[in-house]
Amino acid sequence: MNTLKQIRFVVGLLLVPFLGFSQVGVTSQGLSITVPANIHTNETFLVTYNVYHNFSTNVTFTITNGCNQCSPIAGSCTILNLAPSTHGTCTVEYTVNDVPGANVTFTATASFTNPDVLPPFNLGTFTASNEVRTALPVELIYFTASKEENVIKLDWLTASEIDNEGFLVEKSQDGSKFTEIGKVNGAGTTFEQQTYTFIDEDPGKGIAYYRLKQMDFDGSYEYSEVVSVALDANNDQPVVYPNPVNGMATLKFTEEPKGPVAVKIFNTVGVEMNRFEIDEIDGKEWSFDVSDLAVGTYFIQIENGSNTSSMLLKKL
């Protein structure tokens, strides 16, 4: 699971005015943050610079910064038209390279350009904070499912792994209720790509849905996104269109349903997000609004008497 460590620094920098009719490219250097070596490598650092000034007019600040053990080595960010006596922030994201035992040092040069600033004006100060987010236990590059003859082949690739015990492979026939069908051991801790394969020898019929439950050695876990494969086609299955959809979606039936119809929408972890109870559908189509759903993948389950069908829906 993700953990969050915070290392916070405050360093003051003085912007010293000089005489003249304009101030162009006034620069202050020397902002430095050093993070001890007792951190994981390949972590993401969000370096945020907090700027305050009380000049007589709006000022645009440019912060050029660097990191001795990071990718990228250098970056920059800009705070546009910061009003007097207000704070402004900008953030640069770094990834620490795999250099065991090395301290990580961030440096910055702050400058502003404003030809309308005339002395006298007050001094400005910089403060900076640094937030460290540990890397994901497993960084999944892809997870796919494909039909090969009479089996389903699942393939996935990881970019890195931390304390990864392995993957539980889970399957669903309706997109909401998943059961475990196998386990694949993980690589523990590695920063090299790892390839995995699992074969489902009993795929069944209709649509098969799969997800991975990545397990850490400490018992924590995370789910992957759900992938699906259409197996033997069922011509009686309703379809949903448009798909992906942003606002209104429509269910199209092969023939007019008889009696009440229940339409349920589940997210990828099986939580019911919405439900529609329709006493009677007049015709072969019925439309519903999904604009309130967050962007992502969902599963529609349709119940009509003893018949139950399900399908995948992607919300834009």
Task: Evaluate if pTM is beyond 0.95.
Answer: no
The predicted-structure confidence for 71-114, as pLDDT tens digits, reads as follows 666 777 777 777 777 767 777 777 776 666 667 676 766 666 55
| Predicted confidence band of residue 229 (pLDDT cuts 50, 70, 90) | confident
Window from 104-118, 206-220, 263-277 with minimum mean pLDDT: 104-118
Distance between CA atoms of 206 and 230, rounded to whole angstroms?
Answer: 6
Residues making up the chain, counted from first to last: 316
Domains contained in the chain, CATH given: 4-133 (2.60.120), 138-230 (2.60.40.10), 239-315 (2.60.40.3080)
Tokens 């301290």 appear where? 103
Query: What pLDDT score was predicted for residue 316?
Result: 82
Buried b (16+ CB within 10 A) or exposed e, 94-111: bbbeeeeeeebebbbbbb
Strand partners, 263: 276, 302
Distance between CA atoms of 73 and 214, rounded to whole angstroms?
Answer: 32
The predicted-structure confidence for 119-167, as pLDDT tens digits, reads as follows 333 333 434 344 444 445 788 888 888 888 788 899 999 888 888 999 9
Angle at alpha carbon of residue 179, lines to 173 and 184, rounded to 5°? 115
Which tokens in the block code for residue 286?
A: 């019925």
The alpha carbon of residue 203 and the mean position of all alpha carbons in its chain are separated, in whole angstroms, by: 30
Q: What one-character-per-residue DSSP string does 179-197 give?
A: EEEEEEEEEEEESS-EEEE
The 3-class SS string of 33-86 reads: EEECCCCCCCCEEEEEEEEEECCCCCEEEEEEEEECCEECCEEEEEEEEECCCE
Distance between CA atoms of 169 and 161, rounded to whole angstroms?
Answer: 17
Work out the widest C-alpha separation in the chain, in whole angstroms: 86
Query: What pLDDT score was predicted for residue 258?
Result: 87
Distance between CA atoms of 194 and 185, rounded to whole angstroms?
Answer: 11
